[in-house]
Amino acid sequence: MITIIDYQVVNLRSIQKAFERLGHAVEVTADPRRIACASHVVLPGVGAFRAGMDHLGGLGLVPVVRDVIASGTPFLGICLGMQLLMTESEEFGRHPGLGVIPGRVVRFPSGDPAMAGLKVPHMGWNTVAIRRPVPALAGLPDHGYFYFVHSYYVVPDDPEVVAAETTYGVRFASVLARRNVIACQFHPEKSQALGRALLERFAASVAVGAAS
């Protein structure tokens, strides 16, 4: 069962339907007990970082998210769901995240000459350059196109967790991968065939065992 975490900040229907069209059973829930026993867990999201963390905290979901990741359960973070995995965000101040992947979330730099003429949010199709092989990207073409909607991006402390990058004025991490966690800044559920391929590879992944 693929379990999508419902933390009241996003329309979850598109990612639910994407998995269902691939033939997978899907449950959308905020019940920590259901999330804890899921075979696969998805944290999607669109919106502000602080609101996302506030909702996770208010629903009592922060411990269970950390626990399922530590247990080795396959875990997918999408867009805001990717950003929430980081240590902190600078969106509208400094706010702590889940701290699963050390690093921070920063805004596209408005004063950088590389951003001249580019609109923020970054919205639309862009290429994803694969930097290292990971199961979720296996067989996908390098520089394939995926759909993005975001004003902030992640900067992990450890560059080794970066599986793919994208350039929009500046180069940023668009896919992170570490043990059982895969996280993407783009929306695979809106990215047509390549997005479906990534979701299928995630659904086929298996637990890796508890972290030591």
pLDDT of res. 87: 98
Does residue 187 have an active-site annotation?
A: yes
Does residue 189 have an active-site annotation?
A: yes
**What mean pLDDT is predicted for residues 178-198?**
98
Catalytic residue from among 91, 122, 184, 189 = 189
Query: What is the set of domains in the chain, with CATH numbers?
Result: 2-204 (3.40.50.880)
203 pLDDT above the threshold of 70:
yes
**What mean pLDDT is predicted for residues 166-172?**
98
Catalytic residue from among 40, 55, 79, 91 = 79
DSSP 68: H
Tally the residues of the chain.
Answer: 212
Three-class secondary structure of residue 33 per DSSP: helix
211 pLDDT tier (thresholds 50, 70, 90): low
Most distant CA pair in the chain, distance: 49
Amino acid letter, residue 158 = D
Give the tens place of pLDDT for each residue, 27-82. Answer: 999 999 999 999 999 999 888 999 999 999 999 999 999 999 999 999 999 999 99
State the burial class of residue 193 (Cβ atoms within 10 Å of its Cβ: 0-12, 13-18, 19+): exposed
